[in-house]
Amino acid sequence: MPDAPSPSYDAIVIGAGAAGLFCAGVAGQLGVKVLLVDHAEKVAEKIRISGGGRCNFTNRELDPKAPQKYFLGANPHFCRSALARYTPQDFIALVQKHGIPFHEKHKGQLFGDRSSEDFIRMLLAECAAGGVTHWQPCSVQAITRSDAGYEVQTSRGTVRAPAVVIATGGLSIPKIGATDFGHRIARQFDLRLVQPRPALVPLTFDGDAWAPFAQLAGLALPVRIETGEKKERMAFDEDLLFTHRGLSGPAVLQISSYWHEGAPLRIDLAPGQDLAQELQQAKARSRKLIANELAQWVPSRLADAWVQQDPAWQRPVNEAGDKALAQLAQRFSRWELVPTGSEGYRKAEVTAGGVDTRGLSSQTMESSQKGLYFIGEVVDVTGWLGGYNFQWAWASGLACAHGLAAAKG
């Protein structure tokens, strides 16, 4: 008997995360026959753990006229087309259509009221509405190209399609299944990569140098943090968190995407305060210890630890010299320190770098290899903390879905 013919589809989407699920569902509803494949046991693990289990699914503050403000990459304007065509309001409408309750938490960040599972069920329902075939767990052993399209060898057999979509994400959080699969496929088909690196990640410091501050682990406070010089300078006003090994919290996660090895961070620990003036006024009226005066503007634990750095600060404020108070104010308002590294992909929320967008169509996400598409985190488009990376997943997925439908004709 002849061998049974291998299944054939219009498109094979590899990766059932946010971008892959959304792309598959939209494409299916546009009439594309889609096979969705993922190697993991569970679907959309990154959605499941995001936002403390409630999914920070988009950000209302994203400006569709200038979306690149909230994203970085070697080709920063690449993301504009997709993000302008599918906005946070568009995804909010889908969430509302499925009756999922949500709320705004901070700076436009939208979270589900109940559980991330609501959003996973929504995406699976959209795939079902599009007649998507879903193989999971199912590993991909190889992808080859011929004149007829692509042949994908999987643990469930060989399948063919004129189009393959890589939606396998980056390297961040390997414990939930992250791999370099997408990067390897890009290299296989001679596409360039921008060097991947951890982003939205806590930063670490040398053990001995950090020892005076390790005791502050768990302490959080609002700060202004910046890195870079002149046109490259980036700054955020967010909360900082001290850890045993370094710094975390939204302020550090945000700045980590822009920080480069060897560069200093500059942190204002009392933003909006003129500490030099405040301390001089305190000197004229108070006999409190300097640490007690500082505790008006920052947590007392931080004030106590800070003054231990210099004997001149370990005294009543009225006995302190003007120069010592000026130095204290300057150091507090512009704490400069150089991280020795980061917590790496293990703790990184996303991967910066990835498939070079200069080899992709901003309209369809198709690469220079006809029929091969890349979407979501595997692409060199990295958003700020707060729902922006999910919005890129939705927008790039939709752009790709429409590209697949147009290619089918």
Token pair for 337: 């320190």
In this structure, the number of other CB atoms found within 10 A of the CB of residue 162 comes to 17
Flag whether pLDDT at 28 surpasses 90: yes
Which residues lie closer than 8 Å to 254 by C-beta, 6 or more apart?
200, 225, 236, 238, 384, 385
Flag whether pLDDT at 112 surpasses 90: yes
- In this prediction, residues 23-28 reach a mean pLDDT of 98
Flag whether pLDDT at 200 surpasses 90: yes
DSSP 227-271: ES-GGG-EEEEEEEEE-SSEEEHHHHHHHHTT--TTPPEEEESST
Q: Return phi, psi of residue 232, to 5°.
A: -90, -5
pLDDT at 6: 59
Could you tell me which CATH number the domain at 202-343 has? 2.40.30.10
Q: Where are the beta strands (DSSP E) in 60-212?
A: 71-72, 102-104, 109-112, 133-135, 140-146, 149-154, 157-161, 163-166, 193-199, 203-204
The Cα 12–Cα 33 span in angstroms is 9
Q: In the CATH scheme, what is the homologous superfamily, with its name and number, of domain 11-198+348-408?
A: FAD/NAD(P)-binding domain (3.50.50.60)
pLDDT at 148: 84
Q: Are 392 and 78 in contact (CB under 8 A)?
A: no
Flag whether pLDDT at 26 surpasses 80: yes
Q: Where in the chain is the domain with CATH 2.40.30.10?
A: 202-343
The Cα 205–Cα 209 span in angstroms is 7
Please state, rounded to an integer, the average pLDDT across all residues of the chain: 95
Query: What one-character DSSP code corresponds to residue 316?
Result: B
- In this prediction, residues 342-360 reach a mean pLDDT of 97
Q: Where in the chain is the domain with CATH 3.50.50.60?
A: 11-198+348-408
Determine what percent of the chain is predicted with pLDDT higher than 70: 99
Amino acid at 299: P
- In this prediction, residues 195-215 reach a mean pLDDT of 93
Between residues 6 and 273, the one the model is more confident about: 273
Flag whether pLDDT at 3 surpasses 70: no
State pLDDT tens for residues 217-233.
Answer: 999 999 999 999 988 89
Flag whether pLDDT at 208 surpasses 90: no
- In this prediction, residues 371-376 reach a mean pLDDT of 98
State pLDDT tens for residues 292-317.
Answer: 999 999 999 999 999 999 999 999 99
Q: Are 171 and 378 in contact (CB under 8 A)?
A: no
Which residues lie closer than 8 Å to 175 by C-beta, 6 or more apart?
346
**Exposed / middle / buried, residue 225 (Cβ in 10 Å: 0-12, 13-18, 19+):** buried
3-state secondary structure of 209: helix
State pLDDT tens for residues 54-66.
Answer: 999 999 999 988 9
- In this prediction, residues 373-385 reach a mean pLDDT of 98
Flag whether pLDDT at 117 surpasses 80: yes
Instruction: Match 């822009």 to its residue by tokens.
Output: 258
pTM for the structure as a whole? 0.95
